[in-house]
Amino acid sequence: MTDNPHPILVDLRAALGTGHVLTGTEAAPYTRDWTGQVHTHPLAVLRPANTSDVSKIMQLAHAHEVPVVPASGRTGLTKGTKADNQLLLSLDRLSTIREIRATGRIAIVEAGVILSQLHEAADRHDLIFPLTFGARGSAMMGGALSTNAGGSNVVRYGSTRGLCLGLEVVLADGRVLDLMSAVHKDNSGYNLRDLMIGAEGTLGIITAAVVRLMPKPRAYASAMLACPSVTAALDVLNTLQAETGGAVEAFEYMPASFIDAHLKRFPNARAPFEKRYDVNIFVELGALSSRDANPTPDGEIPARRHLEEVLANMLDSGALDDAVIAQNEAQRAEMWARREAAAELSRLHDPIVDNDIAVPVDRMEELLARIETRIRALDPGIKMLNVAHLGDGNLHFTAWPSTDDTDTHAAINRAVEEEAVTLGGSFSAEHGVGLSKLPAMARHKDKVALDVMRALKAALDPKNILNPGKVVPAADATQ
């Protein structure tokens, strides 16, 4: 505690209790994100216990005109929780699953609920919350909603926005916006819920949500596929969707360089195939009906047998080069572990350049080729470790430059985003904008769209105290 604390800290301690207004060494655990890229120095870290506390914080922040930066699990990749000399509002104590209504297939959750905890709670009702990604053991619902997180199951279930029915949001002046509806159809004016999702705390602080739960698949059929090309892999996806009635849950692309890096990092891991292939795909089907899931008298899972038949026909026709089907849960887990090692693998070397982009699914192969040409011209010795949610066109570009020159790193990142935009894609797919992608917003976002965003920000946050300087670039931002 400083000798002359900011006046707002006195009021905050009175409102929250001294133990929940952290400064100095007490605040240290909250000042870094998992990548180590963000090391921030907040005025204080606040730990409200409920929505009423968040409302009190925002009333005080509004009166004192002190900026507030909300933070959840701090697993983001765009420096969205940078909060120097600002209040860092941690939502980790808002961690209650208020209700699960199994018949209605909804859960009412607070923003600090960890994703894996919701998975476990839904499982007890034979349901799933289908949003999943590598950081599910620490990522929180507030962060997932604020960034409209995606993950590996978007191809079947959609991103976070599509899984949310209602929200509770504290506005910049402390008013609580109650949008906690569980209805599937609501045409009563502007869709304020969707406006808040993906806004990264710049328009309001999400404190709770009504989210959709889905029936738990009764069985899974999982496989590693080797395809002649990325475009050929999309043909495989379309065939599998048609043959299974849309049962594909994950369709993940891993190039040979990714497989090589995985085997180097985990020498005891098995290669997916006996041969090395350029295009490797992890596919998983979720069987919902007893017809597809209940074992036959010989112990075979019908969905797995059907997948084997479809893949066998593709191998015979040349649509596939190779295929390995998981025969048990251990082999399925091995396939998932390979894909979910991406974040760990990417940080095996330093420096690293990474980006999160998306294109229409049928432009992915062209995107990869164009990126290869552009960045090889910038850095001939660069090594790439790309992976992609191929089913929804989302590429996680990761590369290890051969130079420490930061200007070259910036040029590589800019080339990647430019190629995505040229092909009708987005420079930001599922990680948000934060600080990292502000320059890209200024360069590529429709200028009228930016004007509308600035008008919305000014209307909802006239004092610019909600996560200021993030997501929307200033009107005079250079490109």
Task: Specify the domain boundaries for CATH 3.30.70.2190 within the chain.
Answer: 219-342
Name the token pair of 250: 């994950």
Separation of alpha carbons 143 and 115, rounded Å: 10
Report, as an integer, the average pLDDT of 280-295. Answer: 95
Residue for token pair 């599937």? 184
**CATH of segment(s) 349-422:** 3.30.70.2740
Q: What's the CATH class of domain 97-215?
A: alpha beta
Q: Burial level of 377, CB count in 10 A (0-12/13-18/19+)?
A: exposed
**Span 308-332, average pLDDT:** 97
Neighbours of 267 (CB within 10 A): 6
Tokens of 184: 């599937």
Within the chain, which residue ranges are assigned CATH 3.30.70.2740?
349-422
Residue with the bigger pLDDT between 350 and 313: it is: 313
Q: Is a pLDDT exceeding 70 seen at residue 1?
A: no
> What pTM, to 2 d.p., does this model score?
0.91
Which residues of the chain are in CATH 3.30.43.10 domains?
7-90
Residue of 390, 401, 394 lying closest to 346 (CA atoms): 401
Structure confidence by residue, pLDDT tens digits, 322-345: 999 999 999 999 999 999 998 888
- Average pLDDT taken over every residue of the chain: 93
Structure-block tokens of residue 471: 């997501």
Distance between CA atoms of 89 and 82, rounded to whole angstroms? Answer: 11
Phi, psi of 148 (to 5 degrees): 50, 55
Contact 217, 478 (CB under 8 A): no
Determine the 3-state secondary structure of 192 from DSSP.
helix
Where b means 16+ CB within 10 Å and e means fewer, 32-41 reads ebebeebebe
| CATH topology for the 7-90 domain | 3.30.43
User: pLDDT exceeding 70 applies to what percent of the chain?
Assistant: 96
Give the per-residue pLDDT at 36: 67
Q: Would you say 73 and 139 are in contact if contact means Cβ atoms under 8 Å apart?
A: yes
110: Cβ–Cβ under 8 A, 6 or more apart, which residues?
91, 94, 95, 96, 97, 98, 141, 207, 208
How much is the pLDDT for 478? 57
Q: Which pLDDT band, with edges at 50, 70 and 90, does 2 fall under?
A: very low
pLDDT tens, residue by residue, 364-405: 999 999 999 999 999 999 999 999 999 999 999 999 999 999
Nearest-10 crossing angle of helices 230-244, 302-317? 140
Task: Please determine, for residue 178, whether its predicted confidence score (pLDDT) is greater than 60.
Answer: yes
Degrees (nearest 5) of the Cα angle 331, 334, 339? Answer: 135
CATH 3.40.50.2020 fits 219-342, yes or no: no
For 8-42, the pLDDT digits (tens) are: 999 999 999 999 999 999 988 888 776 667 788 99
pLDDT at 217: 96
92-143: pLDDT as tens digits: 999 999 999 999 999 999 999 999 999 999 999 999 999 988 788 889 999 9
Give 243-274 pLDDT, tens digit per residue: 999 999 999 999 999 999 999 999 999 999 99
* Percent of the chain whose pLDDT exceeds 90: 85
